[in-house]
């Protein structure tokens, strides 16, 4: 059943919902279009599934379009993504031409007419070339860490970015020198979605049993796409250090996003690395992401949640973990720093050894682990729920709406 805005009153209180309705009132009838590059897998799709119906309920006529591309296009956009996050690889001029061309074709097929158009991430960035004439406002919403991009790719993309009316970033340290305004809006989770709603203990048991993970020892979990930036091998190495001190299991769960061609290779590497180890459980359905409810159950059944990313735009997986009252051991990068309060809701770490040390410490101190989990829940309730996200968008739209 579709969720209604008033359903969220029980999580954030009636005042916050009344505030959303007040902000939306003068914007009623406004048309809003979101464009990204995948319907499933990854944080952007996750958020749009929840945001789009709520915007509509608030009277903003909201559509969501997904660009279509070939395997070469997605290999190119993944290389662009990696280069923007500072992984300085060369991207051949033909690939960039293809990137442009596929976007040109998408601009012809898609209906890009709306008062406000929000283009998510680099994949559909060149759609700006197909901007229809009129008084619309175009926003580039960048979800990744662009603080230290490879210069060539940044110079290339800047040509498109500067044609937008503004940029939205997830945190202040991602801001760039640009001739257009930049706003900061951190991402959010939907507390009532299948991914995050409360579950009965029986359901959690069932999901663990389905995936053949015994709950006889403490469970460490990382949920991620299979991406080198999520450092799955680093997680395994940290686990092996912990295992010398405390007996526990490691669960690594994640599917493959359709716009991420690198993931099958990374998954294969991880599979080879854990082969024959009966305390490491790889839950990785080929071809499609894990169902949201199963991720929810895995997170709720874990004792400690790890996010050992090397770069991170935000990490919704961290928000999801904290919402489930779990302490998080996360690397001190990007959006993880925005979320994990070091020593309060978990620990920010900088090396494999430190990951292992903090996990071991928490396994020896379960009461503290529980307290940290509770603080994490409160941190998310105050700052990273979808209602705050809607509020930030509505406030921005009330400033930039064409009149
Ligand atoms: N996710 C999922 N299935 C998977 C792996 C991840 O549904 O197999 C979800 C995860 O729960 C989170 C989102 O995808 O909601 C990942 O967002 P995050 O910001 O952590 O990372 P991104 O993949 O966008 O880099």
Q: Any residues with Cβ below 6 Å from ligand 1, and which? A: 42-43, 46, 195, 223, 225, 254-255, 289-290, 292, 295, 314-317, 320
From the alpha carbon of 312, which atom of ligand 1 is closest? 25
Whole-number Å distance, alpha carbon 399 to ligand 1 midpoint, is 31
From the alpha carbon of 285, which atom of ligand 1 is closest? 8
Nearest alpha carbon, ligand 1 atom 22 = 42
pLDDT at 376: 98
Between residues 88 and 221, the one the model is more confident about:
221
Whole-number Å distance, alpha carbon 41 to ligand 1 midpoint, is 6
Classify domain 5-188+385-400 by CATH number. 3.40.50.2000
pLDDT at 356: 98
pLDDT at 286: 73
Q: What value does the mean pLDDT take over residues 295-322?
A: 97
On the question of pLDDT at 87 being above 80, the answer is no
On the question of pLDDT at 349 being above 80, the answer is yes
Whole-number Å distance, alpha carbon 151 to ligand 1 midpoint, is 28
As a whole-number percent, the residues of the chain with pLDDT over 90 amount to 88
Whole-number Å distance, alpha carbon 69 to ligand 1 midpoint, is 21
Candidate from 86-90, 152-156, 212-216, 289-293 with smallest mean pLDDT: 86-90
Name the one residue in this structure whose structure tokens are 């909201």.
Answer: 62
Whole-number Å distance, alpha carbon 386 to ligand 1 midpoint, is 16
pLDDT at 32: 98
Residue 138, beta-bridge partner list: 117
Summarize pLDDT for 7-64 with one digit per residue, the tens: 999 999 999 999 999 999 999 999 999 999 998 878 899 999 999 999 999 999 999 9
On the question of pLDDT at 338 being above 90, the answer is yes
Between residues 87 and 344, the one the model is more confident about:
344
Name the residue of 44, 207, 211, 223 to mutate for ligand 1: max ligand atoms within 8 A of Cβ: 223
pLDDT at 263: 85
On the question of pLDDT at 88 being above 70, the answer is no
Whole-number Å distance, alpha carbon 336 to ligand 1 midpoint, is 14
Whole-number Å distance, alpha carbon 111 to ligand 1 midpoint, is 28
Nearest alpha carbon, ligand 1 atom 17 = 43
> Is the separation of the CB atoms in 287 and 319 below 8 Å?
no
On the question of pLDDT at 258 being above 70, the answer is no
pLDDT at 287: 64
DSSP states of 162-195: TTSSEEEESSGGG----SS-EEE----B-TTSTT
Residue 232 to residue 264: CA distance in whole angstroms: 13
pLDDT at 403: 67
Q: How confident is the model at residue 91 (pLDDT cuts 50, 70, 90)?
A: confident
Nearest alpha carbon, ligand 1 atom 6 = 224
> Is CATH 3.40.50.2300 the classification given to domain 201-383?
no
Summarize pLDDT for 267-301 with one digit per residue, the tens: 999 999 999 999 999 999 876 678 999 999 999 99
Name the one residue in this structure whose structure tokens are 């009149």.
Answer: 403
From the alpha carbon of 40, which atom of ligand 1 is closest? 7
Residue 398 to residue 206: CA distance in whole angstroms: 46
Q: How confident is the model at residue 2 (pLDDT cuts 50, 70, 90)?
A: confident
DSSP states of 256-271: --TT-TTHHHHHHHHH
pLDDT at 208: 98
Residues of the chain with CATH 3.40.50.2000: 5-188+385-400, 201-383
On the question of pLDDT at 351 being above 90, the answer is yes
CA dihedral 365, 370, 373, 377 (to 10 degrees): -160
On the question of pLDDT at 259 being above 70, the answer is no
On the question of pLDDT at 321 being above 70, the answer is yes
Residue 384, beta-bridge partner list: none
pLDDT at 41: 75
On the question of pLDDT at 112 being above 90, the answer is yes
């Amino acid at each position: 059943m579709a969720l209604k805005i008033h359903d969220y009153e029980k999580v954030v209180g009636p005042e916050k919902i009344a505030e959303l309705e007040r902000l939306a009132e003068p914007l009623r009838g406004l048309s809003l279009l979101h464009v990204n590059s995948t319907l499933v897998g990854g944080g952007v799709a996750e958020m749009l599934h929840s945001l789009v119906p709520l915007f509509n309920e608030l009277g903003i006529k909201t559509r969501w379009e997904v660009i279509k591309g070939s395997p070469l296009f997605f290999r190119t956009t993944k290389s662009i993504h990696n280069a923007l996050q500072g992984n300085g690889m060369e991207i051949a001029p033909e690939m960039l031409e293809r990137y442009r061309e596929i976007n040109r074709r998408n601009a012809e097929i898609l209906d890009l007419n709306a008062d406000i158009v929000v283009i998510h991430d680099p994949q559909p960035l060149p759609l700006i070339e197909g901007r229809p004439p009129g008084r619309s406002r175009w926003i580039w919403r960048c979800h990744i860490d662009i603080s230290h991009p490879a210069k060539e790719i940044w110079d290339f993309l800047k040509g498109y970015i500067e044609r937008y009316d503004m940029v939205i970033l997830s945190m202040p340290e991602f801001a760039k020198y640009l001739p257009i305004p930049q706003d900061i809006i951190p991402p959010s989770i939907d507390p009532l979605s299948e991914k995050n709603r409360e579950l009965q203990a029986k359901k959690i048991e069932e999901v663990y049993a389905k995936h053949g993970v015994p709950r006889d020892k403490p469970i460490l979990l990382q949920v991620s796409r299979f991406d080198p930036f999520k450092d799955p091998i680093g997680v395994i190495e940290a686990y092996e250090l912990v295992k010398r001190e405390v007996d526990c299991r490691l669960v690594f769960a994640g599917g493959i996003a359709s716009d991420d061609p690198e993931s099958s290779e990374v998954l294969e590497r991880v599979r080879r690395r854990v082969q024959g180890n009966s305390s490491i459980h790889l839950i990785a359905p080929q071809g499609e992401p894990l169902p949201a409810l199963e991720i929810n159950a895995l997170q709720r059944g874990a004792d400690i949640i790890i996010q050992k990313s090397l770069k991170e735009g935000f990490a919704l997986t961290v928000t999801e973990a904290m919402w489930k009252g779990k302490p998080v051991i996360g690397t001190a990068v990007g959006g993880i720093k925005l979320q994990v309060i070091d020593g309060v809701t978990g620990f920010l770490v900088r090396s494999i050894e430190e990951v292992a040390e903090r996990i071991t410490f928490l396994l020896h101190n379960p009461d503290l682990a529980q307290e940290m989990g509770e603080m994490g829940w409160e941190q998310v309730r105050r700052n990273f729920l979808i209602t705050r996200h809607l509020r930030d968008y509505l406030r921005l739209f009330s400033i930039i709406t064409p009149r």
